[in-house]
Amino acid sequence: MHLRLSDDRIRSTCRDLLKQGGRLSGRALRRELRARFGSVGKTARVFEIWREEAGTRALPINRQAAAGGGELEDRLAAAEAAAAENLARAERAEYREIAHQDRWGMEVDRLREQLRAAPKYAQEIRHLQEQVLRLSAELQAARTLAAE
């Protein structure tokens, strides 16, 4: 059975390993995921999360003590603002997609009901079905004659 690891499980495992000691390799992370959860996850996704987590740990803890601490804070604030903007844009897009699907689903249902409510709908369908059966019989008879 395929087990899909959640991003949270991967992140927490990565953070635990980073706390234990220095550098962490992607392969070591995958070994630990297999040991803990019995699955290593998709390589690209695990390595992407690993790079994110390893990158956040590489930032200096005391930003004021680091050279250019103000610049790092500015970059961090800009990145957080961009992330918030991207999240808001994604939520708006999701809302628009749901509204779009709902609108056109309702429109299709309305048109189907309108068609069913047409006065001669059932009669027309029966007539067309009879015509198809008659034409099929004629075609079969013509094929039989042509074969002889």
**Is residue 95 within a helix (H) or strand (E), and if so which, with residue range?**
helix 69-116
In the three-class reduction of DSSP (H, G, I as helix; E, B as strand; rest coil), residue 86 is classed as helix
Res. 135 pLDDT band, cuts 50 70 90? very high
The confidence score (pLDDT) of residue 2 equals 54
Res. 83 pLDDT band, cuts 50 70 90? very high
Distance in angstroms (rounded) separating the CA atoms of residues 26 and 23? 10
The alpha carbon of residue 21 and the mean position of all alpha carbons in its chain are separated, in whole angstroms, by 35
Q: For residue range 42-60, list pLDDT tens digits in order.
A: 888 888 888 888 776 544 4
Distance in angstroms (rounded) separating the CA atoms of residues 79 and 2? 35
CB atoms within 10 A of CB 123: 10
Distance in angstroms (rounded) separating the CA atoms of residues 76 and 52? 14
